[in-house]
Structure 1
Amino acid sequence: MPNTETPRHAWDVLRNVVAPPAPADAPQAILIRGGTIVSMDPQVGDLAGGDILVRGGRIAAIGRGLPADGAQVIDATDMIVVPGLVDAHRHAWEGQLRRIAPNSPTLLDYLNSTHFSFATHYRPEDIYIGNMLTALGCLDAGITTVVDNSHNARSPQHSDAAIDALEDAGIRAVYAPGTPLAGAWAHHWPGDLARLKRERFAGEDGLVTMAMMSQWDRATWAAARALGLPIITEFLGAEMGALLPGLEREGLLGPDNIFNHNTGLSDAEWEIIRRTGVRVNVCPRSDAQYALEEGVHAYQRAVDHGIEPALSVDVEASYGGDMFSEMRVAYFVQRAHAQHRRYRGEQDAPAAVSVRGMLKAGTLSGARMAGLDARTGSLTPGKQADLILIRAGDINLYPSSNAIGTVVHAADRGNVDTVMVAGRLRKRGGKLLGVDMRRLREITEASRAYLFGRAGYTADPFADASPDLA
């Protein structure tokens, strides 16, 4: 764990950004009292002025007037309590490259400004820093679970560094290593999957679990399945869609497949996804940012075929990393298209999405896509206590006439007062706990200087064009 006296790896000297929990520091009993609870569990329902008792890292009870019984009490008056948000697809290693290309108009432009340039120079310590920045940014914005699509795993050491950062940050994560898109790498796939499963994921109870990221490749998919790992694939366009009939015939699609994006697919291809139980997430901002196929995220396409998609941020190379923005973009784009179809007289125009539907996409549907819905995604007694408290009394939210509308339409990371992951407080009173921001900035600046120097890039804070260093 962090702060080892003799570093085992180059990035061990960086592992003092977040104060580690004491060895005997088991999650204590905490009573969240008097909040407006949006549980996302139909059996539990919603509750004004309700309490949540957390014990042993899990939700022990939800109700009114629960006894404290010696628990630490958090006053949630004028706060909205919702499940922790779930980002179903993020490339966490890109933390140092936030907004490196804010005007990036195409996928190729994004690749040139990240994968084909800076990514080729990443050391394990740069992966650690990128993942740490991303994980802490997630927690600060109320994201308690992230699916880390780590497609810059250049060596076994790069993977270990990524996992260490996620564990040190204290976030719930699914780590999915994958091959880099450019530059030299160790060609350790798929062999290193077995080492990671054996050495880093022998148990199933940790906050960080494992999947694999891979485009269609028979040997790699088979290696993942032999280890019982979910397979995450960037799935977009006619070329990818054309693979689906053959994959279905061979029995190579199933609930262990997770597809990102899903733009440009036909109705017949969506039906294959539905029949085979493939899990799906959509990317409201990146599909538009990088002009992927029709440029519109596939939320409605999934719903039309009886699939409840998750939402994901994807990258921070062009825009911010919060799920509030994803929910808002998804909501308004869906409503715009539904109204456009009604205006054109289409009888089968979809119903307008609701704010509850969007919050579900950002919580429970994301947990289901990640295979973690037995642990998180809703406020349900017995589940692990992943939740956030939003200050409804803040000037941008007050008065809050509708709790779910306030969360989906108006809240932002600045309104996130408290973040809890598996019963541990990661943010309280609007501040991340145990984080040395001075040290985080110091190591980030050093990493950026190294990567920029290696790539021959001079930073320009006013640039319109993306870095083109490939």
Structure 2
Amino acid sequence: MTTLITGGTLITGGTLVTMDPDLGDLARGDVLIDDGKIVQVAEHIDAPGAEIIDAGERIVMPGFVDNHRHNWQTAFRGMGADWTFAQWAQAMHNTVKPHYTPEDVHAATLLGRLEALHSGITTMLDWYHVAQGPEHEDAAIAALQEAPARSVFCLGAGWATPAPVEADIRRVRAHLDDDGLVTMAWGLRGADDTGIDTLARELRLADELGLRTSLHTGGDHRPVAAMHHTGLLRPTTTFVHGNGIGDDELRMLADAGSHLSVSPDVELKMGFGAPLTGRALAAGLRPTLSVDVVPSVGGDMFSTMRTAFSAQRGLDGGLRARDLIHFATIDAARSCGLDSRTGSLTPGKDADIILLRTDDLTVFPVTDPVGSIVTAGHPGIVDTVLVAGRTVKRHGALVDVDLAPLRARLLASRDRIAAAAGVPLDGTWDPKPAS
């Protein structure tokens, strides 16, 4: 089939995992892109005027979507490998956060977003809760806008404090619309922090401003049931973690069209309990996946999928490998309200696409592409990344990104914060939660 296009890009000769139910997988296929959008997906496309990206020995699939990450903590990557949740909260919120400047937020946010992009995460919801003031918020937004990626700035204004936040939400909303690569959501504090009446008022404002919301929740005190009984459940809210909530509460979320973000590595390591992946599916709720915090866990979606897969298979033998890719692409895109733009290789959607090497010895030979992605994939096989049709990574390296000065900025930021907070950087820090 010949498609006459002046310009554009043709990804040709790859193994396609489209995540589009009508297109399915193609053992050999082409993807035609024009003006940032996918124009055609087929076994063979002739487009004489297009730039060619040779996808031989590559899997071509939609980019991953991480719908919950606290990107401001990037500078302290790996320091919390042994921390419990209480230690993490003491370390990040009570010890180092008060010393963050806007420059610190900018450096951490930018490098963290580039790291995720490098690993094939084309869309990220950055759940911001530094909550130090407008200058810090603006620095985070500027960093996301500098990264050549699709991001959702999820503003957790006044997080975990009872202070009113409406003016702050309105201020940021006035500067972020729904058309750009960086959009906005609201990170709600929840009834435990502010009371059910405040939560209701903030959800009404979110509706007024057209904002999706995200909310950390969990425990056996039935937080979802409380929202259900007061009519506060919505299809525009993503509930994060949820460990400890009842099966009937999961059904309430499913009935409301709400979403669930599972962060399997953090939940298992920090003692939250078993991830809700299988229980959510049994309740009719499509789970999604997220990284959460890189001081404690890795920042790529491959390891996140693998942990969720292994944990659920160990519990009941459930889940198939393809389920995990669903959770990390189209399901997560839907939770962000972006499924009409990204999450599958569907004509008409933005071309957010990754090419994965199949000739790398860590995955070779690739007999089942989906199984190989989930069981053996890692950031090192991410060869090429496109966001809205723009090639932002090629031959394993980010395009037009000078990492050296950014690395230096982040190290200087980490060292300054640690010195101000009295935090050792030799691996001996053992944050002591307040008793």
Residue 417 of structure 1 is matched in structure 2 by: 383
Deviations 1:340-386 (A, max 9, x none): xxxxxxxxxxxx21111111111111101111100000000000000
Contact map agreement 1:120 1:182 (CA 8 A) in 2: no
2:253 counterpart of 1:287 = no
Contact map agreement 1:84 1:387 (CA 8 A) in 2: yes
Residue 96 of structure 2 is matched in structure 1 by: 118
Deviations 1:119-144 (A, max 9, x none): 11111111111111110010110000
Q: Identity of counterpart residues, as a percentage?
A: 39
Pairwise mapping of residues 153-302 of structure 1 onto structure 2 (< 5 A)? 153-179=131-157, 189-198=165-174, 200-201=175-176, 203-216=177-190, 217-239=199-221, 242-292=222-272, 295-302=273-280
- SS state of the match for residue 93, structure 2? coil
Q: Closer, same or farther in 2 for the Cα pair 1:109/1:180, shift >3 Å?
A: farther
Deviations 1:262-305 (A, max 9, x none): 1101122222212222111111101011101xx21110110010
Deviations 1:146-205 (A, max 9, x none): 11110113211111111111110111111111135589x9x671211112111x21x321
Q: What is the CA-CA distance between 1:57 and the residue it aligns to?
A: 0.4
Contact map agreement 2:278 2:319 (CA 8 A) in 1: no
Contact map agreement 1:155 1:188 (CA 8 A) in 2: no
Q: Which whole-Å CA distance do the structure 2 matches of 1:180 and 1:102 have between them?
A: 27
Residue 390 of structure 1 is matched in structure 2 by: 356
Counterpart residue type for residue 456 of structure 1: G
- SS state of the match for residue 114, structure 1? helix
Q: Closer, same or farther in 2 for the Cα pair 1:182/1:370, shift >3 Å?
A: closer
- SS state of the match for residue 65, structure 1? coil
Q: What is the CA-CA distance between 1:91 and the residue it aligns to?
A: 0.5
Q: Which whole-Å CA distance do the structure 2 matches of 1:275 and 1:68 have between them?
A: 45
Q: TM-score, normalised by structure 1?
A: 0.86
Counterpart residue type for residue 208 of structure 1: V
Contact map agreement 1:455 1:469 (CA 8 A) in 2: no
2:41 counterpart of 1:77 = no
Counterpart residue type for residue 377 of structure 2: A
Q: What is the CA-CA distance between 1:65 and the residue it aligns to?
A: 2.6
Q: Which whole-Å CA distance do the structure 2 matches of 1:246 and 1:446 have between them?
A: 45
Residue 9 of structure 1 is matched in structure 2 by: none
- SS state of the match for residue 120, structure 1? helix
- SS state of the match for residue 173, structure 2? helix
Residue 406 of structure 1 is matched in structure 2 by: 372
Counterpart residue type for residue 360 of structure 2: D
Residue 7 of structure 1 is matched in structure 2 by: none
Counterpart residue type for residue 430 of structure 2: S
Q: TM-score, normalised by structure 2?
A: 0.93
- SS state of the match for residue 238, structure 1? coil
Larger displacement relative to structure 2 (434-443 or 381-390): 434-443
Counterpart residue type for residue 38 of structure 1: V
Deviations 1:304-351 (A, max 9, x none): 101111001111011210000011111111111114xxxxxxxxxxxx
Q: What is the CA-CA distance between 1:34 and the residue it aligns to?
A: 0.0
Counterpart residue type for residue 189 of structure 2: Q
Q: Closer, same or farther in 2 for the Cα pair 1:467/1:247, shift >3 Å?
A: closer
Pairwise mapping of residues 99-114 of structure 1 onto structure 2 (< 5 A)? 99-104=78-83, 106-114=84-92
Residue 370 of structure 1 is matched in structure 2 by: 336
Gaps of 5+ in 1: 1-26, 340-351
Counterpart residue type for residue 255 of structure 2: R
Counterpart residue type for residue 420 of structure 1: L
Q: What is the CA-CA distance between 1:219 and the residue it aligns to?
A: 3.3
Q: Closer, same or farther in 2 for the Cα pair 1:28/1:376, shift >3 Å?
A: farther
Larger displacement relative to structure 2 (416-425 or 222-231): 222-231
Q: Which whole-Å CA distance do the structure 2 matches of 1:245 and 1:326 have between them?
A: 28
Residue 152 of structure 1 is matched in structure 2 by: 130
Q: Which whole-Å CA distance do the structure 2 matches of 1:86 and 1:204 have between them?
A: 17
Contact map agreement 1:121 1:455 (CA 8 A) in 2: yes
Contact map agreement 1:175 1:210 (CA 8 A) in 2: yes
Counterpart residue type for residue 125 of structure 2: V
Contact map agreement 1:91 1:314 (CA 8 A) in 2: yes
Q: Which whole-Å CA distance do the structure 1 matches of 2:256 and 2:41 have between them?
A: 36
Residue 3 of structure 2 is matched in structure 1 by: none
2:27 counterpart of 1:48 = yes
Contact map agreement 1:178 1:212 (CA 8 A) in 2: yes
2:316 counterpart of 1:338 = yes
Q: Which whole-Å CA distance do the structure 1 matches of 2:128 and 2:36 have between them?
A: 28
Report how many aligned residue pairs link the two structures: 421
- SS state of the match for residue 338, structure 2? coil
Q: What is the CA-CA distance between 1:468 and the residue it aligns to?
A: 4.3
Q: Which whole-Å CA distance do the structure 2 matches of 1:453 and 1:290 have between them?
A: 26
